[in-house]
Structure 1
Amino acid sequence: MTLSDREHDALDSAEHDDAELIRLSWDDPEQFAALFDRYAHQIHRYVARRLGTQPADDIVAETFLAAFRRRDTYDTAQRLARPWLYGIATTLVARHRRDEERFLRALSRTGVDPLPEPMADTVISRVAAQHETRRLAGALARLSRGDRDVLLLVAWGDFGYEEVAQALGIPLGTVRSRLHRARKKTRAALDGAPAPTTDPTPTGEER
């Protein structure tokens, strides 16, 4: 995994990087609390954008509890734990797939975003460059779970391709194909054109 300049600066300015905190927590569990302080707000925002605020509270708590229980298995060669934590959160979001799709479809019908930051500001500007929240929500609801996970980690998690691959445990090529397909379908929906239905899923790729 390649760290960005911003991530390098954040780690260099911290007393311990993520991997070191996790290693220290093996003997001193209280050290793990620093990871919560670093990432809980980011992960809450990501999950809330997908499911709403109340489910996000529970999923953030479950994410860090699961991470704490698995900390002995963490690969400390990975200095940045963000992909690992987002991967756990995304797996937990998958258990609420129907809730997420209902959330998005309700937004596509009403256009009323329950979160204070408009969806258009965080996704459309990065993905489709058009400010049509209702169409965007409908398009996201129609994506497969795998495509939606990749798109939203890039758009809302600000992940690079390698980070997405690490978070979801999938090959880099799969990240690229899913993101291409998701962007294509989302742009088509925002342009008012029928969403493509003939994109083949690469052999062996989980949707």
Structure 2
Amino acid sequence: MAGQAMGVWMNLRQRIRDGDPAAFREIFDEHARAVYNHAWRLTGDWSAAEDAVSLTFLEAWRLRARIEVAEERGSPRPWLLGIATNVARNVRRAARRYDHAVSRMPRSEDEPDHADAVAGRLDDRERLAAAMAALASLRRNEREVIALCVGAGLDYAQAAEALGVPVGTVRSRLSRARKKLAKKAEREREPLPAAGQVRGDRVPAVRFAQEKAR
């Protein structure tokens, strides 16, 4: 069965490398949700995650000749999440630059007041910030490995492939991140959520802290 699945993937991979749009739609349909969830874990913003999905698959199409890096595992998911990780970094930087530029623009009295819209967006970010507070305390490379191994469910080798680092680096970053999250959860002295919960104040952080190493 595993050999058959690998054969199916090899055929699909070759079609993608040859520029077959139908084959590329297959991996989009299968992996878009995983890419979206991963991007949200890294950005903490639903809109930014949607942008990241589009940019990730555009970049994947551009780099389709390199998809052989995922051949051994029989899935393009580590490769796609690696691209999504880089895209999410750029999306977050662009969002910060945009917000900074908007805050510095003079407002004409004749122009409509967008304060309510901006305030609404800030409220959304504040609600998401509560859920992402613990993760935000981590270093970027620690957040990324948590998002891949715990959030996306990749094993050490797949996460290493996605990030382009050795497996040992993934292990050490994950260990440090889990220790930090566990300490933060202990300081807050909050009851643990039911298994499977993924939303709510600080729930993602507590869930990540309690996941066992794969």
Under TM normalisation by the shorter chain, which class is it?
0.5 to 0.7
Letter in 1 for 2:20: P
Q: Is the Cα contact below 8 Å between 2:146 and 2:177 reproduced in 1?
A: yes
Using the TM superposition, give the Cα deviation of residue 73 of structure 1 relative to its aligned residue in structure 2, in angstroms: 2.1
What are structure 2's unaligned runs of at least 5 residues? Answer: 97-121, 189-214
Residues 66-75 or 179-188, more deviating: 66-75
What are structure 1's unaligned runs of at least 5 residues? Answer: 101-105, 114-132, 194-207
CA-to-aligned-CA distance 1:132-178 (integer Å, 9 cap, x gap): x94x7322111111011001111210111111101101001100110
How far, CA to CA, are the matches of 1:95 and 1:27 in structure 2?
Answer: 28
Which residue number corresponds to residue 167 of structure 1?
Answer: 162
- The change in CA–CA distance for 1:96 and 1:82 in structure 2 (over 3 A counts) is same
- The change in CA–CA distance for 1:67 and 1:165 in structure 2 (over 3 A counts) is same
Letter in 1 for 2:55: E
Alignment of 1:179 with 2:174, yes or no, is yes
Alignment of 1:49 with 2:44, yes or no, is no
How far, CA to CA, are the matches of 1:97 and 1:184 in structure 2?
Answer: 26
Q: TM-score normalised to the size of structure 2?
A: 0.64
Using the TM superposition, give the Cα deviation of residue 64 of structure 1 relative to its aligned residue in structure 2, in angstroms: 0.7
Using the TM superposition, give the Cα deviation of residue 70 of structure 1 relative to its aligned residue in structure 2, in angstroms: 0.8
Which residue number corresponds to residue 199 of structure 1?
Answer: none
Which residue number corresponds to residue 68 of structure 2?
Answer: 75
Using the TM superposition, give the Cα deviation of residue 96 of structure 1 relative to its aligned residue in structure 2, in angstroms: 3.9
- The change in CA–CA distance for 1:97 and 1:58 in structure 2 (over 3 A counts) is closer
Letter in 1 for 2:49: A
- The change in CA–CA distance for 1:94 and 1:28 in structure 2 (over 3 A counts) is closer
Which residue number corresponds to residue 20 of structure 2?
Answer: 29
User: Deviating runs (4+, > 3 A) in structure 1?
Assistant: 96-100
How far, CA to CA, are the matches of 1:41 and 1:15 in structure 2?
Answer: 24
Q: Is the Cα contact below 8 Å between 1:48 and 1:55 reproduced in 2?
A: yes
Instruction: Kindly indicate which of the two structures has a greater share of residues assigned to helix.
Output: 2
Which residue number corresponds to residue 212 of structure 2?
Answer: none
Alignment of 1:157 with 2:152, yes or no, is yes
How far, CA to CA, are the matches of 1:28 and 1:43 in structure 2?
Answer: 21
Kindly, what percent of the aligned residue pairs are identical? 34
Using the TM superposition, give the Cα deviation of residue 22 of structure 1 relative to its aligned residue in structure 2, in angstroms: 2.5
Q: Is the Cα contact below 8 Å between 2:56 and 2:84 reproduced in 1?
A: yes
Letter in 1 for 2:8: H
CA-to-aligned-CA distance 1:98-138 (integer Å, 9 cap, x gap): 669xxxxx89x96x34xxxxxxxxxxxxxxxxxxx94x732
SS at structure 2 position matched to 1:16 = helix
Give RMSD over aligned pairs: 3.1
Letter in 2 for 1:173: G
